[in-house]
Amino acid sequence: MNDLSYDIYIGAKPEDVWNALVTPEGTRAIFFGSVLESTFEIGSPYAYVGPGNDGERTVHVYGEVLEYEANKRMSYTEHPGPSYRDNHAELETRVTLTLETVGAVTKLTLVNDRWTDGHPSYENTKQSWPMILSNIKTYAETGKTLDFGY
């Protein structure tokens, strides 16, 4: 399976983009009501938790923090939440987010790799990342998010 890789340019400072990625207010806005729960220490667990199949505390994805450099780079393993796949613990990919300043804008690069052959979440994830990245861009630039009808 191919890596999923995206570059997006955002009219905001890296700190503003970073806050959208890690603060409860930011993640709640860009990840459809979910909050990123983690200490962000390398090797520590994280989970995106919010409304879903299991109520208000549904774990949508979870994993382990691999890298964390505030305002620059974050990488983590990613598993689908238990309510999505019975074999969720076996289904692991890696997500890496990198921010860099380009002129007066921030370039956000997202790479989602290490897909196993036949991973059942691949096609859905391939469609979800552009929506999430668009939400990040809009939120960092305007403080608002896009209405996808969910």
Q: What is the DSSP string of 88-117?
A: GGG--EEEEEEEEEETTEEEEEEEEE-PPT
Q: How does pLDDT run across 45-55, given as a tens digit for each residue?
A: 999 999 999 99
State how far the Cα of 92 lies from the Cα of 16, in Å rounded to an integer: 29
- The angle subtended at Cα 56 by Cα 61 and Cα 87, nearest 5°, is 35
Which among 66, 86, 83, 64 has a CA at the least distance from the CA of 74? 66
pLDDT at 22 over 80: yes
Q: How does pLDDT run across 111-145, given as a tens digit for each residue?
A: 999 999 999 999 999 999 999 999 999 999 999 99
* Burial 12-44, CB ≥16 within 10 A → b, else e: bbbebbbbbbbeeebbebbbbbbbbbbeeeeee
* pTM given for the model: 0.94
Query: Which class is domain 4-142?
Result: alpha beta
pLDDT at 150 over 80: no
Domain ranges within the chain, ordered by starting residue: 4-142
Q: At 29, list the tokens.
A: 């806005």
Classify 9 in phi/psi space as left (phi over 0), alpha (psi -120 to 50) or beta. beta
